[in-house]
Structure 1
Amino acid sequence: MALNDVLTKKQAQAFKSYLTDDWRTLILSGAVRAGKTYIDNLIFTDELRRVRNLARKKGDNHPQYILAGYSSNTIYDNVIASLERQLGIELKPDRHGHYHLFGVDIVPAYTGTARGMNAIRGMTSYGAYVNEASLAANDAFKEIVNRCSEEGSRIIADTNPDIPTHWLKKDYIDNKDPKAKIKAFNFTIDDNTFLDPAYVEALKASTPKGMFYDRAIKGLWVTGEGVVYKDFDKDRMTISPSQIPAGLRYYAGVDWGFEHLNSIGVFGEDDQGNIFLLEEHTGKGKFISHWVDVAKDIQHRYGQSIVFACDSARPDNSNEFLAAGINAVNANKAILPGVECVSKFMANGKFFVNREGVQEFFNEIYQYIWDEKTGLPVKEHDDVMDMMRYAIYTQHAGGGYVPWK
């Protein structure tokens, strides 16, 4: 079997570099579904064999290696489970949570929290595999680098792109100092020639334009440019009350405010996955009793069981909702995943606004822009936008609504 039967051209290029180049850190970055993790998993198994042989020459019977990822779930999904699917290698954790393969003790480290790095503090490692490296805190990545101090130790990493000023991009990928010994490869979706062309075409068509497309499809390290919701088409997506179908599933979002705008919105969703912003109630300088009355009226018209995904920044207000018999839950407030979720409905032509039901939506949608420095939306003209994100993303994020505590 030829190499090009199992690896794409870009994967083969990266694997050749792994085998023949003089490097200490190898980073594969780029688009989703581009084959980065697949080839890094293969390299990972080869690295474990190399580490075993290196340790034997030193008389070390217990070589250790770091397997790092954002969380235990991401390590399992992206590496452990993938190795079983790709190579038939089944890894089971021991009583310490470590894995073992080819005589190497593989120690998991979770880069999403400071506590997740405790397992490797004081450790001396022969190398590391860092999955989803851009999600790691800079200090966490530095700690991993510091632990890889055995002679001949090396670090491999894969990641999706982030902002161009991200520390991983500036300090590692763009580092051309030969003494640093860093090799970096960038992947686009089209580099994965094993994907079904129909799937790629559909993915490109359904990915929101702008930053999300540039990162997910082109594999570029970019910030947003201009308005956040580039796919919103007022002419096509604004409808009259008579165009709203019956039999929708209803849910609501709440962004608390007093000196700035407070916004409550009601959304309906049909069986085809179309979302309708049915009504929006926005104002400022109004006490919680006013918003309780608004929510009670919404309950009266849409059903007592309608769920309000609330901004967790004001638990006192949410508790007032609960005391009044209003079904308030903590909203899932993840910013970029939430924006992407809303954007996808717009990109797919499945988002509609009742022209007679909104107050501030059209004032904000065209002023809601990206911050080039942070890669996040600017914190202005965002009250209705946040409310919308809370409602839609909480409804569609994995696990559904988060119960109020």
Structure 2
Amino acid sequence: MATAEAQLSEKQERSIAHSTSWLNVWEGSVRSGKTIASLLRWLMYVVTAPRGGALVVVGKTYDTVGRNVFEPLQDPSLFGDAARHISYTRGAPIAWILGRKIEVITANDAKAEARLRGLTGAGAYVDEMTLLPKEFFKRLIDRMSVPGALIFGTTNPDNPGHWLRKDWLNRADELGVRTWHFTLEDNPALSAEYVARMEAAFTGLWYRRYILGHWVMSEGAIYEAFDSTIHVVDEVPAITRWLCDAIDYGTVNPFADLLIGLGADQRLYVVSEYRHDSRTARRQMTDAEYSAARRQWLAGHGVRPEFTVVDPSAASFIEQLHRDETPGVVPAENTVLDGIRTVASLLAADRLRIHRSCAGLIDELPGYSWDDEKAEKGEDAPIKQDDHSCDALRYGIRTTEALWRPHIPIALEVAA
């Protein structure tokens, strides 16, 4: 079985030929060819996998599994005639690959381990391994009990203290695990122009992990590319689409609301900021007062954004907005690292600018930093201090991504 159009690199061919261990891991840069190689090997395995047990595809969510696994598998330009024999509807728990039934299992929370109960596994393909809970992965391995069962998985680099690296990759020889490290140079399908765009799209931590393919610790400023002389402006162009106002809710802590629009110059703009700090003002506001203040602020700009994106933990305020018949209220997409990475990429490519009036956001951005103590424990997390407008920014950018992405000419791909 071979791909229809794509030519494989020597490393891809080698990884396919020698991925015969009980656990086989492709790791490294984004778009480095590891996913195509691992999926081709998975197709080959499905044909020959032992009977009497389940074959499973595992990922963090149904969306990531659909995007990273089944969309490529169903692309005939990548997998030729085999693509016609792969059937999957996004969100479904069952797929069919080359006549074999495949169970699709997600692992997005602490309860995910229960989804493996009763499974007798004959083989597994694991997407984005570092995003899975540690105990879920251990249980998955335990469940691959059919003789001859093999596991295949991919991952981008993460914190060097991550459990996957410490417990499995660093002990590969001892445990009989086979691993292959990929960089952009290992994907012959990438043009030089595309590689240049990818290199420009990432900065700091993300550049070191996703372009160089290094397992490095998060440290220092999160938005290293932020430059007030570039990203802070006195005027904004015509706004072609008012995407949202994005709210980080606070009573004792500051309440921050950012108005975000898509500019005619194919950039995102934070046009205005409403902010109330109860400590500075020496007065706390109620949900009803915040809602009224928000309406007055937006009315002053003559703007009604398409969505009001709210801190998902602010249940009482969301309810107040509904009572006030605020249109387009949605809980924010709150995957912290994905949001940070997207904002960082926009700043690095100069596709996000901020009006000078947004004093709270401008003040927070330079000091928004990684938590060193958590980094030492293998976790990537920002310091939870002076981050309210920064949180509102990633809420708004990430939640409305489907609206602005088609209009922003930047390589923001983060999948393998």
Q: TM-score range by the shorter chain?
A: 0.7 to 0.9
The equivalent residue for 1:84 is 74
The equivalent residue for 2:64 is 74
Task: Report the TM-score, using the length of structure 2 for normalisation.
Answer: 0.82
The equivalent residue for 2:188 is 193
Which of 161, 166, 170 is the equivalent residue of 1:165? 161
Q: Which amino acid aligns with 2:133?
A: A
Q: Which amino acid aligns with 2:388?
A: D
Q: Distance in 1 between matches of 2:60 and 2:146?
A: 24
The equivalent residue for 1:305 is 304
User: What SS does the aligned partner of 1:308 have?
Assistant: strand
CA contact (8 A) 1:51 1:63 kept: no
Cα deviation, residue 151, structure 1: 2.5
Cα deviation, residue 388, structure 1: 1.5
What 5-or-longer segments of structure 1 have no aligned partner? 56-61, 401-405
Q: Distance in 2 between matches of 1:79 and 1:395?
A: 24
Higher alpha-carbon Rg? 1
User: What SS does the aligned partner of 1:112 have?
Assistant: coil
Q: Which amino acid aligns with 1:300?
A: A
With CA pairs under 8 Å and 6+ residues apart, which has the higher RCO, 1 or 2? 2
Which of 207, 224, 237 is the equivalent residue of 1:245? 237
Q: Distance in 1 between matches of 2:97 and 2:293?
A: 60
User: What SS does the aligned partner of 2:49 have?
Assistant: helix
Q: Output one character per residue of 1:13-68: Cα deviation in whole Å (capped at 9) or x when no partner.
A: 3123226xxx321111111111111111121122234434xx5xxxxxx4432322
Which of 217, 220, 224 is the equivalent residue of 2:218? 224
Q: 1:206 to 1:330 in 2, by over 3 A?
A: same
Q: 1:136 to 1:398 in 2, by over 3 A?
A: farther
The equivalent residue for 2:316 is 316
Q: 1:323 to 1:399 in 2, by over 3 A?
A: farther
CA contact (8 A) 2:53 2:146 kept: no
CA contact (8 A) 2:70 2:88 kept: no
User: What SS does the aligned partner of 2:258 have?
Assistant: strand
Q: Distance in 2 between matches of 1:80 and 1:228?
A: 33
Q: 1:399 to 1:171 in 2, by over 3 A?
A: farther
Q: Output one character per residue of 1:202-235: Cα deviation in whole Å (capped at 9) or x when no partner.
A: 111122x111112221222223221111111111
Which of 30, 44, 47 is the equivalent residue of 1:46? 44
User: What SS does the aligned partner of 1:360 have?
Assistant: helix
Q: In the alignment, does 2:294 pair up with 1:292?
A: no
Cα deviation, residue 119, structure 1: 5.9
Q: Distance in 2 between matches of 1:247 and 1:338?
A: 23
Q: In the alignment, does 2:183 pair up with 1:183?
A: no
Cα deviation, residue 80, structure 1: 3.4
User: What SS does the aligned partner of 1:345 have?
Assistant: helix
Q: Distance in 2 between matches of 1:182 and 1:71?
A: 25
What pairs with 1:337-376 in structure 2 (closer than 5 Å)? Answer: 337-355=338-356, 357-372=357-372, 373=375, 374-376=379-381
The equivalent residue for 1:264 is 257
Q: Output one character per residue of 1:178-210: Cα deviation in whole Å (capped at 9) or x when no partner.
A: 3x1011111112221221111111111122x11
Q: Which amino acid aligns with 1:369?
A: S
Cα deviation, residue 354, structure 1: 2.2
Q: Distance in 1 between matches of 2:65 and 2:155?
A: 13
Q: 1:49 to 1:393 in 2, by over 3 A?
A: closer
Cα deviation, residue 103, structure 1: 6.8
Cα deviation, residue 309, structure 1: 1.4
Q: 1:198 to 1:102 in 2, by over 3 A?
A: closer
Q: Output one character per residue of 1:141-161: Cα deviation in whole Å (capped at 9) or x when no partner.
A: 112111112233221111122
Q: Distance in 1 between matches of 2:127 and 2:396?
A: 31
Q: Distance in 1 between matches of 2:241 and 2:213?
A: 36
Q: Which amino acid aligns with 1:70?
A: K
Q: Which amino acid aligns with 2:68?
A: N
Q: Output one character per residue of 1:315-346: Cα deviation in whole Å (capped at 9) or x when no partner.
A: 22233333334444322222112112222221
The equivalent residue for 2:145 is 149
CA contact (8 A) 1:68 1:108 kept: yes
Q: 1:76 to 1:252 in 2, by over 3 A?
A: closer
Q: 1:341 to 1:93 in 2, by over 3 A?
A: closer
The equivalent residue for 1:384 is 389
What pairs with 1:328-343 in structure 2 (closer than 5 Å)? Answer: 328-343=329-344
What 5-or-longer segments of structure 2 have no aligned partner? 279-283, 406-416
Q: Distance in 2 between matches of 1:388 and 1:221?
A: 27
Which of 119, 122, 125 is the equivalent residue of 1:123? 119
Which of 194, 205, 209 is the equivalent residue of 1:215? 209
Q: Which amino acid aligns with 2:165?
A: K
Q: Distance in 2 between matches of 1:318 and 1:71?
A: 25
The equivalent residue for 2:247 is 254
Q: 1:236 to 1:154 in 2, by over 3 A?
A: same
CA contact (8 A) 1:26 1:184 kept: yes
Which of 31, 35, 38 is the equivalent residue of 2:29? 31
User: What SS does the aligned partner of 1:88 have?
Assistant: helix
The equivalent residue for 2:271 is 278
User: What SS does the aligned partner of 2:181 have?
Assistant: strand
Q: Distance in 2 between matches of 1:124 and 1:296?
A: 56
CA contact (8 A) 2:54 2:103 kept: yes
Identity, % of aligned positions:
25
The equivalent residue for 1:17 is 18
Alignment RMSD (CA, Å): 3.0
Cα deviation, residue 171, structure 1: 0.8
Q: Distance in 2 between matches of 1:351 and 1:100?
A: 42
